[in-house]
């Protein structure tokens, strides 16, 4: 990687001697180069790690499958919870049909 940086620096030094008709092109190019140097440090290391892992197809597909399975698990848990609530409502309704005067006594809980 150090060799690539050295080659880039040499190429940029050669480019300084080139005469261009556009007056602000030189400053724009150098501003973009300076901005490129800052961009990798903008993301935290954790996000860079996640991006590098998820850029591989095998890991990306495993992540998608894990998300789908997690969503299905949460949906199943929610349905089970709704069924328990519905069963409790039916039991309470049944108690009220049998004896409307009974309210939450210890015999029926």
Closest CA to 95 of 82, 80, 106: 106
pLDDT at 61: 95
| pLDDT tens across the length of the chain (109 residues) | 577 778 877 877 776 776 767 777 777 777 877 776 665 555 677 888 888 888 999 999 999 999 999 999 999 999 999 999 999 999 888 888 887 776 665 555 5
73 and 99 share one domain: yes
Total number of domains in the chain: 2
* One domain, residues 63 and 95: yes
Distance between CA atoms of residues 12 and 5, nearest Å: 10
pLDDT, residue 64, reads: 96
Tell me, yes or no, whether 72 and 105 share the same domain.
Answer: yes
Range of the domain at 80: 56-109
Q: Which of 32, 31, 37, 30 is nearest to 16 (CA)?
A: 30
pTM across the whole model? 0.46
Residue at 105 is within a domain: yes
* CA atoms within 13 Å, Cβ hemisphere of 63: 10
pLDDT of residue 67: 96
pLDDT confidence of residue 3: 77
The first and second tokens of residue 89, run together, are 């409502």
62 & 109 share domain = yes
Q: Supply the pLDDT for residue 1.
A: 54
* pLDDT at 96 (0 to 100): 82
Could you tell me if 60 and 98 lie in one domain?
yes
């Amino acid at each position: 990687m150090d060799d690539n940086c050295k080659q880039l620096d040499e190429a940029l030094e050669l480019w300084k001697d080139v005469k261009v008709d556009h007056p602000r092109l030189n400053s724009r190019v150098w501003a973009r180069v300076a901005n490129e140097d800052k961009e990798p440090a903008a993301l935290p290391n954790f996000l860079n790690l996640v991006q590098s892992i998820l850029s591989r197809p095998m890991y990306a597909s495993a992540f998608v499958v894990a998300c789908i399975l997690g969503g299905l698990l949460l949906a199943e848990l929610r349905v089970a919870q709704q069924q328990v609530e519905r069963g409790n409502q039916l039991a309470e309704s049944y108690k009220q049909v049998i004896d409307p005067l009974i309210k939450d006594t210890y015999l029926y809980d």
